[in-house]
Amino acid sequence: MSEDLFVPNPKWFKGGDHPADRWWLDSVVASFRGGWLASSVFGNRNSRRFCALVKFRNRWRSGKIRVCNLPDMIIFAPSEAEAGSVAMRKLDGIFVYLAPMTEFDSQADCDFVCAHELSHVALGHYLLPVEQRGLVEIEANAKAAEWRFPKRKKGRHVFQRLVQRPLNS
């Protein structure tokens, strides 16, 4: 078997009766099966985005964070190795984007980004007209903090600092 072939762990496809388990199957697993969640992310313990999604699910299941039922969503987390791709997929519903660049941040920063984006969904920000979405970032930050995901450090991503560093340094 090729080392490049990804075989996900069957335990990631199991759910339970908790709303967090239903969200996991209907959003995270469904995003993987639909090609939105890269195989280099899904089930990869080295992927910060996958670890952030697992942490969110586990905190929700344990009652450490209070989340009403989240609607089904597409979680788009492309591989950090891909420069781009083309696919024909139907896109309807709620779309959450987790940028590949977050793989270069600390796990805590990646956890916050994931919680911040999911808080937009929990708070119903996707229902607002585009012109009213500017003021929702503070509310999403507050919700992520309420869920005990520490706020991102100020400044640029680690990746941005590396790319923008002068060649002589």
Number of structural domains (the chain) is 1
State how far Cα 144 lies from the chain centre.
Answer: 13
| Whether pLDDT at 5 is above 70 | no
| Whether pLDDT at 164 is above 70 | no
Question: Which tens digit of pLDDT belongs to each residue from 64-85?
Answer: 988 877 999 999 998 887 777 7
C-alpha 159/C-alpha 105 separation (Å) is 7
Please check whether residue 9 lies inside any domain of the structure: no
Mean pLDDT of the chain: 81
Please check whether residue 6 lies inside any domain of the structure: no
| Whether pLDDT at 126 is above 80 | yes
List 75's β-bridge partners, or say none: 96
In this prediction the pTM is: 0.80
Please check whether residue 60 lies inside any domain of the structure: yes
Distances in Å between the alpha carbon of 114 and those of 69, 77, 89, 131, 155? Answer: 17, 11, 23, 23, 18
Residue 58 structural domain: 16-164
Of the chain, the percentage scoring pLDDT greater than 70 comes to: 78
- Predicted confidence band at 7 (pLDDT cuts at 50, 70, 90)? very low
Please check whether residue 80 lies inside any domain of the structure: yes
Of the chain, the percentage scoring pLDDT greater than 90 comes to: 35
Closest residue by Cα to residue 41 from 87, 117, 89, 110: 110
Please check whether residue 152 lies inside any domain of the structure: yes
